[in-house]
A and B are shown apart, each in its own frame.
Chain A
Amino acid sequence: MRAKNFIWRDIEGQIVVIKDDGMVIYVLNKTAARIWEMCDGNLGRDEMAAKLCERYDVSFDRASVDVGGTLTSLMEKGLLMQAA
């Protein structure tokens, strides 16, 4: 789920994430933005991939790879934390 020490905002479909000390700002690409929106702690990876398939013309396998890569990247940047 999303780390609590960030503030985020949707600006015309793009997501900007700001660390709450103001020192770091990320702008997420389209795929990362959609995955970020789903990171509320209620959905697993497969459910996220399935939702991407509903929204975009993409195979489940492809979506799973995108979700996995994006979650790893967001986790490495400290934007996500493990759900309790």
Chain B
Amino acid sequence: MCAVTTREKQTVRIQFGEVCCALDCRDVDVFERLRDSFNVFLSNQPIDITVELNLVDRLDRKTLDTVPSHNFGLPHEKLEISGDHAYHVEFDAANRRLLAIAERSIFNTAFALRSLNKLLLLVYYTASRLKRPGTPPWMLVHSCGILRKGQVLLFAGPCETGKTTIARLCSEDFGLPLNDEMMSLSWPRPEDYGLLAQSAPIFGELPFRANTVAPLSSVFLLKQSQRTVLRRLGRMEAYLRFLHQVVSPAGFNNHDTRTTISIMDSFANVVTGTTPFFELEFTRDRDLLWDVEARLKELILRGIK
């Protein structure tokens, strides 16, 4: 039995940096959830790439063959195909369209929207390269961004190092959390007076609060610890650790790993060469978290030298 939802498709446009992505979905409930969740990223800009999201009851070979637009009617050699347990994705470069087939059940879980992240990254970097060949103008970094007094403080680190904790802590009176999972950073341009930071439409644990662009103030590399310590990092240590937090700009239409690594290396070099870097060790003990805030405030009052 065909498990595909066949209602009329609805489209939501999402602005992801300079890229406008149209997300087509025929499932009304999921569509409304997506539209509400991407709230601050909704766009009316011209579409750069279209993602057709098809939901199925079960993601297997048999079901894939029942999807109406499966293969876009194109021979396999014209498509790039990728996938994991959550999605089967096909890319039609000529028409700038992605077909994503996912199990409906993943949208019934609390983790549902976060499971979209990998797809969104693929879409962003693919569209970015199609729109402007070469280096993506905005790079993504695993980080939490806090807008404070017109500048962004970036707290970078892998999962479970406390990005969401920092965002929750800072939401009291310290600043506005922009994203607790991933931020976009520009390459420095003379006209921007340095690096800009912007929230990315990538799902963390907290809802999006704003889609704001602001100058990057400083970067804090997070490290869980039994104590609260803030220290300035040397250039090499900052580079090596930040490099691991830069999201690989791989996408469809790009199989050159060397170029991908070169872009990440150049970006880490530029950011660490233009921005103050600190290591923030902190314990997730609630009382001591306030100590983190106090130290950050002290640092900012001193002008982050």
| A binding-site residues for B, Cβ under 8 Å | 5, 7, 9, 11-12, 14, 16, 18, 20-22, 25, 27
Contact = CB atoms under 8 A, between A and B. Distances in A.
Contact of A21 (B236, B239, B240, B257): B257
A27 B258 CA distance: 19
A7 B236 contact: no
B265 interface: yes
A22 B239 contact: no
B78 interface: no
Given A16-B240, A20-B258, A25-B240, A7 B235 contact: no
B261 A7 contact: yes
B25 to A, nearest CB: 34
A11 B269 contact: yes
Interface in B254-271: 257-258, 260-262, 264-265, 269
Main secondary structure of the interface of A (DSSP, over half): strand
A18 B235 contact: no
Given A9-B265, A11-B269, A16 B257 contact: no
B245 interface: no
Given A18-B265, A22-B248, A22-B264, A11 B257 contact: no
A14 B261 contact: no
A43 B68 CA distance: 63
B243 to A, nearest CB: 8
Nearest to B234: A12
B233 to A, nearest CB: 12
A27 B236 contact: yes
Contact of A18 (B236, B248, B261, B272): B261
Nearest to B257: A21
A32 to B, nearest CB: 14
A25 B241 CA distance: 11
B258 A12 contact: no
Given A9-B269, A22-B248, A16 B236 contact: yes
Contacts of B239: 11, 16
A5 B257 CA distance: 10
B236 A20 contact: no
